Each structure stands twice: as C-alpha cells, then as structure tokens.
C-alpha cells in the first residue's frame, strides 16, 4: 500500500505545507475574476510569506513537481464542477500502479488504490492519515475512503479516479479561487507526542486530532493571537495572516 521511493521523494517536499484558504482571500480582487496562480507565483509567495494555498493550489504544484521528477501523474477530484470541488492527484509508479496523493486533506502518505494489485488491502490501515485509521473501498473509476477515528467517530470521502482534462481542471481551480467561504480555514500536519497529528483552525476555533482523540485548544483573544498561532503551526507570515483574517465576514465582534 506504500509508495516506492521516487513518488515518496517528491511527496515529502510538501511535508511542511498547510492547506489553507487565507491565501485566496488575500489574492482576491472583487473587480475582476481571480485567476489560478501559476506554480512560479506560488513559489514566490511561499518564499516571501510562508503561504501555501487551497487543495487546487497544492494539487497543481504537486503535479508540477512530479513532472519535473519524471513521474507520471494526473489530476482527479470530487464534484469537480461544483463550488464544493475537491482536488487531488494520482501518481503512477514504474509498474503503472496508481497512488492517491491528497495534500488538500493533509494525508501523511500516498496510498495504493488498485484493488486488483497483490499489495492492496481493504482492511483498516494506520500511518496514512493523521488521527485516523483509513479503509479503502475502490472500483476502477471510483474510490471511497472510510476514516475511523477515536471514540467511534466515522466519516467518508469520495473520489473520482478518472483523470480530469487539463482545461476542465484549470476552470475548476479558478472557480474555486473565486468562491470565498465566509470562514477562514487552515489545516496542517504537526508533531504531537510520538505521532504526526492534524491541526485545524476553522470557524474561529482550533483543535488537534490525534490517535488519542480530539483536543480543543483555548480560544485566542484577538486577531493578532490567532495570526501568531497560525504562524507557529504553519510558518504563515503573521502580519499577512492578521490582515487576511480581518477580511473574513465572520470575524467575531470580540476579536475586532
């Protein structure tokens, strides 16, 4: 179920990348539609400000790195033509086996999705996703991922494993960049005790998901405190984070 070294080497370039929606609000211009950032733009902004991007940003950047490293890969997604679209990547190893690579959901590792492969397992597996065991239910063109979390919590994510046409993927990416959720969202992988856990900031709350369960953090008392917390977890420039957080429509009055 684990990827071979070439895929893993490329994937691990993104170990410190958060998934976040702050950057698309930061770049958004209400006077004209915002175009999907190029990889060169994303690299420049990350170097200067420590930003990363949403699931489309991360998928596009990962595809570019796979191409540069000589690894065949293509974009996939879920509800790709809707405002709720989610983007990910399939990478192929030297034997043509498909591996799901999802930086948007902050997976720890790519995972084999070919059910007819002798190495495939449909059992619960640990070590692929922070704070949860996962279980794959694939067909040739579809995949359901079951997340088994502590205390009986359970959720499902669906993917269409068919390649998305490049033009269609670009249009979906730009649609996503221009769909602004009223709530800021940041997710990242963090070291926690003896594991890699999942840290999330959503609806002005933050919490850690680990193998032990869900750990809510104390609320921050100001925009500045939230910006510092995001900076500490992700490296996102705290001045930029503070500026962007003030632009969201849902800022609690207690923070203003």
Which of 24-38, 98-112, 241-255 is the least confident region? 24-38
- pLDDT score at 79: 87
The yes-or-no verdict on residue 29 having pLDDT over 70 is no
Please report, for the domain that includes residue 91, its CATH number. Answer: 3.30.2140.20
Quick: pLDDT tens for 193-232. 999 999 999 999 999 999 999 999 999 999 999 999 999 9
Cα distances (Å, whole numbers) of residue 58 to 20, 32, 93, 248: 10, 23, 20, 22
Put residue 35 in one of left, alpha, beta given phi > 0 → left and psi -120 to 50 → alpha.
beta
Choice between 256 and 70, residue whose per-residue pLDDT is larger: 70
Measured distance CA(32)–CA(246) in Å, rounded: 21
- Name the percent of the chain lying above pLDDT 90: 84
Check pLDDT > 90 for residue 28. no
186's tokens: 């940041």
Give the pLDDT confidence score for residue 30 in this predicted structure: 61
- Report residue 93's pLDDT band, with 50, 70 and 90 as the boundaries: very high
Question: Which pLDDT score, from 0 to 100, does residue 199 have?
Answer: 98
- Give how many domains the chain has, as a whole number: 1
Q: What is the mean pLDDT of residues 26-55?
A: 89
Whole-prediction pTM value? 0.95
pLDDT band at 82; cut points 50, 70, 90: confident
Q: Point out which residues pair with 111 in neighbouring strands.
A: 100
Q: Which domain, by its residues, includes 127?
A: 5-255
Q: Are 160 and 47 in contact (CB under 8 A)?
A: no
Percent of the chain with pLDDT over 70: 98
């Amino acid at each position: 179920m684990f990827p071979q070294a070439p895929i893993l080497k490329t994937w691990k370039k993104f170990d410190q990348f958060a998934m976040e929606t702050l950057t698309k609000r930061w770049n958004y211009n209400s006077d004209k539609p915002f175009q999907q950032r190029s990889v060169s733009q994303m690299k420049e902004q990350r170097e200067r400000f420590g930003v990363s991007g949403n699931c489309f940003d991360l998928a596009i950047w990962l595809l570019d790195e796979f191409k540069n490293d000589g690894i065949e890969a293509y974009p996939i997604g879920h509800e790709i033509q809707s405002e709720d679209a989610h983007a990910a990547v399939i990478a192929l190893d030297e034997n043509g086996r498909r591996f799901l690579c999802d930086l948007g959901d902050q997976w720890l590792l790519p995972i084999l999705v070919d059910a007819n492969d002798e190495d495939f397992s449909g059992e619960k597996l640990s070590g692929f996703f922070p704070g949860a065991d996962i279980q794959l239910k694939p067909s040739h063109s579809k995949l359901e991922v079951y997340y088994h979390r502590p205390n009986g919590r359970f959720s499902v994510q669906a993917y269409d494993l068919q390649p998305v046409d490049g033009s269609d993927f670009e249009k979906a990416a730009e649609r996503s960049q221009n769909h602004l959720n009223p709530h800021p969202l940041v997710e990242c992988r963090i070291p926690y005790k003896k594991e890699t856990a999942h840290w999330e900031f959503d609806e002005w709350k933050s919490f850690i998901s680990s193998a032990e369960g869900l750990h809510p953090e104390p609320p921050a008392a100001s925009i500045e405190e939230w910006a510092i917390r995001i900076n500490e977890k992700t490296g996102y420039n705290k001045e930029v984070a503070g500026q962007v957080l003030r632009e969201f429509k849902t800022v609690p009055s207690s923070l203003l």
